[in-house]
Amino acid sequence: MKMLFLGPPGAGKGTIAARISTFLNIPHVSTGDIFRENINKKTPLGMKVKSILDSGDLVSDELTTKMLKTRLESDDAASGFVLDGFPRTIPQAEALSKTSDIDHAIELRCTEEVLIRRLTGRRICSTCRRIYHVDSMPPKVENLCDNDGTRLHIREDDELESVKRRLALYAEETKPLSHWYEMRGLLRVVDGTREADVVFKEIREMLGI
């Protein structure tokens, strides 16, 4: 089964995609992981990506799609995969359609209030990198890491103004993908405001897995 997840930052795409990947024993593929893997292996494409990222530029759709195509042609993806974080734009979706046939595009929808609470509530330990959340996964001692006692901090991306900019960018660039996949009969919409266990169960029932 070949599927991808859509939804704004904080909707839970990565969490659910990872669970589906484990349940179906198919790879969970994200562009970030692909970039890191190619850079670490010093592949020709990886070296191109490294030079682009080091210069502060964005990796082009063409280069991203090339790396993704190579990853999806790997033996472990022969029976399916779960895409997370790609495509982000309609041109990327069009490029993907020339590389692989997607069975399902699952969109996790959430209210802006829930998204802001989820994202601004995240805290991270700068020493061990463990992630917490003030509501769903708080530390035993407020604002201190359970592992090493380091004071927790908010990532710059999770500051309120940054979150609002990320959500606005999603609405402008990525939200149109919902209609694009709906017109092709591939879109499946799920209420992502609920607990992960509930969302996971509904997706399994929806897909008959």
CB 80 within 8 A of CB 26: yes
- What pairs with residue 153 in β-bridges? 124
3-state secondary structure of 107: strand
Q: H or E segment at 188? A: strand 187-191
**Catalytic annotation, pick one of 88, 117, 164, 175:** 88
User: How many Cβ atoms from other residues are within 10 Å of residue 22's Cβ?
Assistant: 11
Is residue 155 part of the annotated active site? The answer reads yes
**Catalytic annotation, pick one of 36, 41, 151, 155:** 155
**Catalytic annotation, pick one of 69, 164, 166, 194:** 166
Q: Is beta strand 81-84 parallel, antiparallel or unpaired with respect to 122-124?
A: unpaired
Is residue 165 part of the annotated active site? The answer reads no
Is residue 36 part of the annotated active site? The answer reads no
**Catalytic annotation, pick one of 13, 19, 71, 118:** 13
User: How many Cβ atoms from other residues are within 10 Å of residue 93's Cβ?
Assistant: 21
- What pairs with residue 4 in β-bridges? 83, 105
The tokens of 175 are what?
Answer: 């939200």
The tokens of 76 are what?
Answer: 């472990």
DSSP state of 153: B
> Among all chains, which residue has been given the structure tokens 């495509």?
87
**Catalytic annotation, pick one of 19, 71, 122, 123:** 122
Active site residues: 13, 88, 122, 155, 166
